[in-house]
């Protein structure tokens, strides 16, 4: 095995508690109870360990991270450790006072999710009445404080046609950056694939619109666009390569190579309670399982793209091809590509089933 790289980014899933119930949630089907969450001191230690092993960027996520009452203390601890702190939030639960506390704690950046540009659709997707109006109020307080803002617009069949309005809204809210992320089918989202997968026509129109917006010198935002990979020729380089740049810590302290890795049967995850994060990063079986290119079978093994897309997404290979070590079925060179084609031919708007909402954490 070649030298083990240093991680750059860590996603801290502080909690699975969330007021919303988005059907595309990437959290695992088995949610962690509040009583099993890591406490403030443990998170603070994990942040210090992350900085020691090279992590620069910390993403505070969930669930809804604002559900943690100690959020400002966690931000302070992360800044003390020398990390760049990014809050990934729906905005729900962030009061004006809480935002001021986060400002005082040194929060670097806010990433606000958008379920839709109209209250009716946004509240229906989020499963939370009044959520859109509350979010707009939070966005205005974010602007007043002066936090740099990224809008994270999760797009799917029901809202991809609103892309132009989405860009306009993000600009009005003062965002410097927008992530247009088409739903990826992990966790709760996988049960909603047939309802949420956009059509080929929608995706083509969205790509054209993004190209036009990026070419506009008057556009004040950086636009990151993640198209649905089912329509692509090659898979996305999940996590930039397994165990190469990023790691994920669950609410209870399990350390994962990617947020969906718990869907891979037989994979064992180590916990921050029993080992230093650096040892887990370098030595744990879960991180070494698909690190580098040695684990690959054909057609990946001899492929000229093996160090570009690293065989794609392991969780998607498992979910569609039934084997986490297989080539991502999205790839045109994968023998299982016809399975993806079959899913695409099932994605007909007239037959889209009802949405299944994410469960809420009990207890």
Q: Does 148 bind another protein (CB under 8 A)?
A: yes
Rounded-to-integer distance, Cα 157 and Cα 161, Å: 8
Specify the residue, 214 or 332, whose C-beta has the smaller distance to another protein: 214
SS3 call for 59: strand
Site string for another protein, 42-61 (x = CB under 8 A): ---------xxxx-xx----
| Orientation of helix 200-215 relative to helix 163-172, angle to 10° | 40
| Least Å from the CB of residue 50 to another protein | 10
Element (H, E) at 103: helix 96-105
Pairing of strands 149-155, 109-114: parallel
Residues 268-327, interacting with another protein (CB under 8 A):
none
| Least Å from the CB of residue 102 to another protein | 13
Residues 110-129, interacting with another protein (CB under 8 A):
111
| Least Å from the CB of residue 10 to another protein | 12
Which tokens go with 126? 């989020």
The backbone region for 265, taken as left when phi is positive above 0, alpha when psi lies in -120 to 50, beta otherwise, is: beta
Q: Does 5 bind another protein (CB under 8 A)?
A: no
Specify the residue, 101 or 162, whose C-beta has the smaller distance to another protein: 101
| Least Å from the CB of residue 315 to another protein | 22
| Least Å from the CB of residue 343 to another protein | 30
What string of DSSP letters covers 238-270? Answer: GGGSTTTSEEEE-TT-BEESSTTGGGSTT----
Query: What radius of gyration do the chain's Cα atoms show?
Result: 20
| Least Å from the CB of residue 322 to another protein | 33
Report whether the peptide linkage leading into residue 318 is cis, meaning its omega lies within 30 degrees of zero: no
Specify the residue, 146 or 363, whose C-beta has the smaller distance to another protein: 146
Site string for another protein, 157-196 (x = CB under 8 A): -------------------xx-------------------
- With CB under 8 A as the contact rule, the residue among 181, 221, 300, 303 that binds another protein is 221
Given a contact cutoff of 8 angstroms between Cβ atoms, the answer to whether 183 and 155 are in contact is yes
Specify the residue, 50 or 347, whose C-beta has the smaller distance to another protein: 50
C-alpha closest to that of 268 among 278, 276, 283: 283
Termini Cα distance of the chain: 44
Specify the residue, 21 or 143, whose C-beta has the smaller distance to another protein: 143
- CB neighbours (10 Å) of residue 306? 16
Residues 191-220, interacting with another protein (CB under 8 A):
220
Q: Does 6 bind another protein (CB under 8 A)?
A: yes
- 224 forms beta bridges with 179
Specify the residue, 148 or 191, whose C-beta has the smaller distance to another protein: 148
Rounded-to-integer distance, Cα 66 and Cα 73, Å: 12
Window contacting another protein (CB under 8 A); options: 34-42, 79-87, 333-341, 354-362: 79-87
Specify the residue, 9 or 122, whose C-beta has the smaller distance to another protein: 9
Window contacting another protein (CB under 8 A); options: 106-114, 159-167, 184-192, 264-272: 106-114
- With CB under 8 A as the contact rule, the residue among 108, 161, 162, 171 that binds another protein is 108
| Residue with tokens 């603070």, as numbered in its chain | 44
Q: Where are the beta strands (DSSP E) in the chain?
A: 9-13, 57-61, 84-89, 109-114, 149-155, 177-182, 222-226, 246-249, 255-256
Residues that bind another protein (CB under 8 A): 6, 8-9, 51-54, 56-57, 82, 84, 86, 108-109, 111, 146-148, 150, 176-177, 220-222, 224
């Amino acid at each position: 095995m070649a030298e083990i790289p240093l991680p750059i980014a860590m996603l801290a899933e502080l909690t699975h508690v969330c007021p919303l119930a988005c059907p595309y949630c990437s959290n695992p089907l088995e949610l962690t109870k509040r009583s099993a969450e890591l406490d403030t001191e443990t998170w603070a230690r994990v942040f210090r360990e992350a900085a020691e092993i090279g992590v620069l960027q910390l993403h505070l996520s969930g669930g809804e991270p604002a559900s943690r009452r100690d959020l400002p203390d966690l931000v302070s601890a992360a800044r003390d450790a020398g990390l760049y702190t990014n809050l990934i939030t729906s905005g729900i639960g962030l009061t004006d006072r809480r935002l001021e506390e986060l400002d005082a704690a040194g929060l670097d950046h806010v990433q606000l999710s958008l379920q839709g540009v109209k209250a009716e659709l946004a509240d229906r997707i989020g499963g939370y009445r009044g959520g859109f109006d509350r979010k707009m109020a939070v966005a205005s307080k974010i602007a007043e404080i002066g936090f740099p803002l990224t809008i994270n617009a999760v797009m799917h069949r029901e809202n991809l046609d609103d892309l132009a309005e989405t860009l306009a809204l993000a600009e009005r809210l003062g965002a410097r950056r927008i992530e247009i992320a088409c739903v990826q089918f992990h966790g709760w989202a996988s049960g909603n694939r047939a309802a949420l997968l956009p059509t080929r026509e929608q995706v083509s129109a969205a790509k054209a619109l993004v190209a036009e917006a990026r070419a506009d010198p008057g556009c004040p935002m950086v636009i990151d666009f993640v198209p649905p990979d089912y329509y692509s020729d090659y898979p996305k380089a999940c996590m930039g390569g397994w165990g190469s740049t990023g790691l994920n810590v669950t609410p209870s302290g399990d350390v994962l190579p990617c947020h969906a890795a718990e869907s891979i049967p037989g994979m064992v995850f180590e916990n921050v309670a029993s080992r230093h994060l650096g040892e887990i990063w370098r030595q744990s079986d879960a991180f070494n399982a698909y690190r580098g290119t040695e684990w690959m079978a054909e057609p990946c093994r001899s492929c000229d793209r093996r160090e570009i897309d690293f065989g794609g997404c392991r969780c998607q290979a498992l979910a569609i091809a039934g084997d986490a070590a297989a080539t991502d079925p999205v790839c045109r060179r994968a023998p299982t590509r016809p399975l993806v084609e079959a899913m695409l031919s099932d994605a007909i708007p007239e037959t889209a089933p009802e949405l299944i909402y994410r469960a809420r954490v009990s207890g």
